[in-house]
Amino acid sequence: MNKSKSGFNFDNTYLELNQKMYSNIDIKNTYLPTMKVFNNELADILGLNTVFLNTEEGIKLLTGSINEELEKGFTQSYSGHQFGHFTNLGDGRALMLGEHVTKSGERYDIQLKGSGSTPYSRRGDGKATLSSMLREFLISEAVHYLNIPTTRSLAVLKTNELVRREVMHEGAILVRVAKSHIRVGTFEYAFSNSEYSEFKKLVDYTIKRHYSDLINEDKKYNKFLLKVIDNQASLIAKWQSIGFIHGVMNTDNVLISGETIDYGPCAFMDEYNPKTVFSSIDKQGRYAYMNQPYIGSWNLARLAETLIPLLSENKEEAVEIANKALTIYGEKYTEYWLNNMALKIGIEKIKSEDEKLIKELLTIMEFKSLDFTNTFRLLTLRKYASLNVIESSELIEWIKKWESRLTEQNVDIEEAVTIMKKHNPNIIPRNSLVEEALANASLNNDYDLFNEMLELLKNPFNYEIEYKNKFTSFKKNSADYVTYCGT
């Protein structure tokens, strides 16, 4: 590829794996696309030519349309436990342009989401709506700036064709950037559909790509499993500490790299209720806020099952190793969650009773239907009266306990506030506002609110800003809010 034009530097090492793991795709889209959102900051990190990518030729490249620079792409095979049920899947609406290698040697997958049908599309058209792709762009960038590992979005391009769902929608393509798209479901697929040697090759490839420090280690597969467990425990603890609900934690949406992926039926919790579910298809609450840590363990158990032959030649010993590793997940998750939540109330040096203190606050928040983000934000700002329940004897007593705990560790309230400002966002993507921004953009071509939110969400921990009320308020009874997967 002519790097002087796009800046892309593709080196597709994934194609060295068993051919069952992917399908080659000829680039033959014939869209007449227009750029709607472009991520200049991410383009600079990747070393891309921003000017070129916003030209007619660059835009065609980013939609997988026929052009001089790109002739082939590929899609990945994978399986997945969807709501607990195993099935073979694959990239049903995604095309991999390739693995872009930056000047510093960092490798990123560049994937087009919604680009059209693939061998894995089954009865689907492989396309996506403009609204759903704008949602992924907005929320994934918000999650990134909240310091949570995530895939990111380089661009959203309108295809200028209509996509039929319940009604007709504007079609669009998202250009997604990830450390890789290797999933727990990728391991499940290879384990079920490949010879042992080919499965082992995938595991070795993944270790080399994401955990290269383990390549020459003894018991590297055991340590690999522990690494993945650790990064998933850390990731989900961060989700919980920020009130983020993923919505569809199937094993095909769990990246081995530890990044958040797939922003369909996701949302941020408003009123604190552990049972909150936003996904329209999650009728049983499998992926409710309170269940996310447990589902994390369940998904990792599916990964561990595939690794049994590599953990030990003795199957009983291998199972024991896997079970012990999964036990460690619970310990690590609790540790990460407690650390994150303690920092939200200004405590750096944790004591055993701090968990009780945190859970007491969460119980009050649930009983009084307090907003998750605003409760911690107003505690940070010391605007206790604005919580609107300051007459609550439970809350008054809790604040006394909290202040006493700070005094005990020789931290005055101002020091605690400094800590809290780094861990309690002043702004999040409010659900009602997200919907308004997406409707304005996708239905009326009005991107003012979308762009305003996108800019503000780049500095979520900035307490120097006085936000308009609409950016910090929420609609009551937000549990009625429903999101959709976008397919």
CA distance 89 to 319: 27
Q: What angle do CA 222, 226, 232 make, to 5 degrees?
A: 145
Count CA atoms within 13 Å of residue 37 on its CB side. Answer: 35
DSSP β-ladder status, 34-38 and 107-113: unpaired
Active site residue 252: yes
DSSP SS3 for 276: coil
For helices 220-242 and 292-311, angle between their N-to-C axes, nearest 10 degrees: 170
Report the distance separating Cα 328 and Cα 308, nearest Å.
17
**Of 306, 311, 243, which Cα lies nearest the Cα of 278?**
243
Spatial distance between the Cα atoms of 347 and 358, rounded to a whole number of angstroms: 11
CA distances, 368 to each of 267, 373, 387, 469 (Å): 21, 14, 10, 21
- 164: which 2 tokens? 């039929």
Cβ atoms of 90 and 67 within 8 Å: the answer is no
CB count within 10 Å of CB 451 equals 14
Residues whose CB falls within 8 Å of the CB of residue 254, separated by 6 or more in sequence, listed in order: 183, 184, 185, 232, 299, 300, 303
Give residue for tokens 């020459």. Answer: 216
Q: Tokens 């790509």 belong to which residue?
A: 209
Which two tokens mark 259?
Answer: 């990044």
Residue 420 and residue 197: Cα distance in Å, rounded?
A: 50
Q: How does DSSP classify residue 266?
A: -
Cβ pair 181, 255 in contact under 8 A:
yes
What are 228's two structure tokens?
């993945």
Which residue among the candidates 91, 109, 252, 262 is catalytic per the annotation?
Answer: 252
**Residue 99 and residue 197: Cα distance in Å, rounded?**
24
Distance of CA 148 to the CA centre of its chain: 8
> Residue 267: which of 294, 237, 293, 287 has the closest Cα?
287
Give the three-class secondary structure for 93. Answer: coil
* End-to-end CA separation in angstroms for the chain: 32
Known catalytic residues are 252
